[in-house]
Amino acid sequence: MTLLEIVQPVAEAATTLHTHAAVVAQLVEAPVAQAAEILRAWDAPNPAPKAPPGSGGLVAFLGGLKYVALVVGVIGLVVVGLTFAISKGRGEGHEISPTLMKWLLGISIAGSASLIVSWITAAAGF
């Protein structure tokens, strides 16, 4: 069996797949464009976010929860740092790196939770 006999069926299959993908793209393109045009023409109301009356307690609770999360995160970083220093002295420092990364990720998410939610809702058009 020659190299051409091996490569030719693969090339034919790739050409067929490309042709089918182009046909599917043409079939999908028009309805998607029409739906996008309809959505652009629809002037849906988009009011600014506003806390409902009486939600001051909930906002204060969320603020306190964020504060506690950040304090626990800082304490956790200190513990991870001490563990890292002790482990490094014994030649085991590489084992603590995943734990440190988890703490840093957790603190980052807790500290920027409101920004993350604002970004997602803005991207979604809310």
Domain residue extents for the chain: 1-43, 56-124
Mean pLDDT across 22-40: 74
The residue whose two tokens read 């304090």 is: 71
Structure tokens given for 55? 């939600």
Helix (H, G, I), strand (E, B) or coil at 49: coil
Let me know: does 62 contact 92? Beta carbons within 8 Å: no
What is the torsional sign of CA 42, 45, 49, 52? negative
Structure tokens given for 20? 């089918």
Digit-coded pLDDT (tens) for 36-69? 777 777 776 666 777 788 888 888 888 888 788 8
| Cα distances (Å, whole numbers) of residue 24 to 14, 34, 36, 38, 59 | 15, 16, 18, 22, 49
Confidence tier at 118 by pLDDT (50, 70, 90): confident
Q: What is the pTM of this model?
A: 0.45
Does the structure show a pLDDT above 70 at 20?
Answer: no
Confidence tier at 1 by pLDDT (50, 70, 90): low
Calpha distance 99→80 (Å, rounded):
7
Calpha distance 16→126 (Å, rounded):
42
**Lowest-pLDDT range, 55-64, 66-75, 80-89, 90-99?**
90-99
First to last CA, the chain: 61
